[in-house]
Structure 1
Amino acid sequence: MTQHLPEITRLQLQRGRRQRVNIYLDEEYAFSLQLDLAASLQRGQRLSAAEVEALKAEDAYRAALDRALAFLEHRPRSRREVQDKLIGEDCDPIPVERVLERLEALALVDDARFAEWWVSNRLQHRPRGERALRHELRQRGIDEAVAQAAVQGLDEHELARRVALEQAERYRGHDRQRFDRRLGSWLQRRGFGWEAVRGALDHAWRQVETSDPGDASTQG
């Protein structure tokens, strides 16, 4: 007995979403596809169940890829960030994995390069110590070895001194103990190690003590 294959009886652009096409099989709505994918179909064509599933899978993949590309327009992203974004938008895990593989093949997602960008951006706009930077990268799915490589060569002592000087004016007028406690806590919350903090506090205190109000942050 020959298996009946449903026939495409209508291809209809969706109202308000003219980049999608509704597919009707045997006069009944069956599914919808992106316009460019539906362009390969025609009325009278018969589709097997396997062909229908393949079309749906390709459509899901293309939709997920479009979402991922839009997500990447604003700034670099880690693999985990893209994955979480797509799954959070209810994309099926199978096309999500395929999208990630495609983005990596195109070098649009590269965790090592992302980690380098993240550290550089942080140091320029919101300086953090090595510990905090590694933690932020790990939160974004970056492997520990990759995170460690991204912060390698970071002069945390010099960075802590610079950041401390930028903040020191806020604590002018405090005695040394209170100055160390408040500025030291601020630095430690930003991931600087105690050795770097201690040196930065000594340097910042000397600058505050020997400079006029408003000049501490300009001293090297």
Structure 2
Amino acid sequence: MERNGRQEESIITMVELQKKNKHRFNIYLNEEFAFAVHEDIMIKHHLFKGTSIDSARIIDILQEEEQHSAYLASLRYLGRGPRSEKEVRRKLKEKGYDGESADKAVDKLKQQQYIDDHAFAKQWADHRVHFGRKGRNFVRQELASKGLGKDEISQAMQGIDEEAEYEGALTLGSKKWRSVSGTELDKKRKTMAYLLRRGYVQGVVNRVIRQVSEETLEDSTFEL
């Protein structure tokens, strides 16, 4: 409210700690509840009892509060596991934060290296190959779905340990081969299709098929 061209100021008459959130405070102006802020915003803007505050400053504080809230929500999301920038932005949008608040939060997180798409892509690819036993084609599709760019995906693919990828494919291929019935041709066809669905490239699949076929032949020869 303005009076004679000047912003009318209100007085903070009470600052109340919220019962369900020990980091948020209710701010009362002229004996009435006005808004709530995180303790970081309260301290930064000196929102203490007796402080005078005008409507323009309140607007600025509430905008900063929204941006700070988006930042904290992003940290909680990242705390559950590494995320790409696109995943963080998607989560913030789902929670109702506006574009400016999301931009501010993401920029701060990138400066602090909590968001690093290059590092995330490499970490994700390594984990999926070593522990998820997925081939590079599958990993590439996953990274694309997470919003990673061509450069990040390309670097992640180049960093994949080819021997680890093969060992994972061999473990899966051997197990599949033993579980499949039928002729050797049936076993080859079904095992090959299975590995291709797991995202392994044709070269890796062919190498696995040769290996399990040779092992089967050696076992048959030994039995004779």
TM range (shorter): 0.7 to 0.9
| Residue correspondence of structure 1 range 132-211 to structure 2 within 5 A | 132-152=138-158, 154=160, 159-160=165-166, 162-172=168-178, 173-211=181-219
- Rounded to whole Å, the distance in 2 between the matches of 1:3 and 1:149 is 55
Query: Shift of residue 156 of structure 1?
Result: 5.2
The SS at the match of 1:18 is coil
Query: Shift of residue 157 of structure 1?
Result: 8.0
* Amino acid of the structure 1 residue aligned with 2:136: E
Per the normalisation by structure 1, the TM-score is 0.85
1:82 lines up with 2:88 in the alignment: yes
In the TM superposition, what whole-angstrom CA distance separates every residue of 1:48-68 from its partner, at most 9, and x where no partner exists? 222111111222222222222
1:67 lines up with 2:73 in the alignment: yes
The SS at the match of 1:31 is strand
Which of 15, 18, 26 is matched with 1:14 structurally? Answer: 18
Query: Hey, what does 2:33 align to over in structure 1?
Result: 29
The SS at the match of 1:33 is strand
Larger deviation: 175-184 or 2-11? 2-11
Compared CA separation, residues 154 and 38, structure 1 to 2 (3 A): closer
Contact 2:133-2:168 within 8 A present in 1 as well: no
Larger deviation: 116-125 or 153-162? 153-162
Structure 2 gap segments, 5+ residues each:
none
Query: Shift of residue 124 of structure 1?
Result: 1.2
Compared CA separation, residues 196 and 18, structure 1 to 2 (3 A): closer
Per the normalisation by structure 2, the TM-score is 0.83
In the TM superposition, what whole-angstrom CA distance separates every residue of 1:128-184 from its partner, at most 9, and x where no partner exists? 222211111111111012101111154658734651344324433532121112111
- Rounded to whole Å, the distance in 1 between the matches of 2:105 and 2:161 is 37
Compared CA separation, residues 205 and 162, structure 1 to 2 (3 A): farther
Query: Hey, what does 1:57 align to over in structure 2?
Result: 63
* Amino acid of the structure 1 residue aligned with 2:30: D
Larger deviation: 87-96 or 99-108? 87-96
- Rounded to whole Å, the distance in 2 between the matches of 1:91 and 1:31 is 18
The SS at the match of 1:63 is helix
Query: Shift of residue 73 of structure 1?
Result: 2.4
Structure 1 gap segments, 5+ residues each:
213-220
Name segments (4+ residues, structure 1) moved above 6 Å: none
Contact 1:157-1:200 within 8 A present in 2 as well: no
Query: Shift of residue 91 of structure 1?
Result: 2.5
Query: Shift of residue 10 of structure 1?
Result: 2.1
Q: RMSD over aligned Cα, in angstroms?
A: 2.3
- Rounded to whole Å, the distance in 2 between the matches of 1:98 and 1:116 is 25
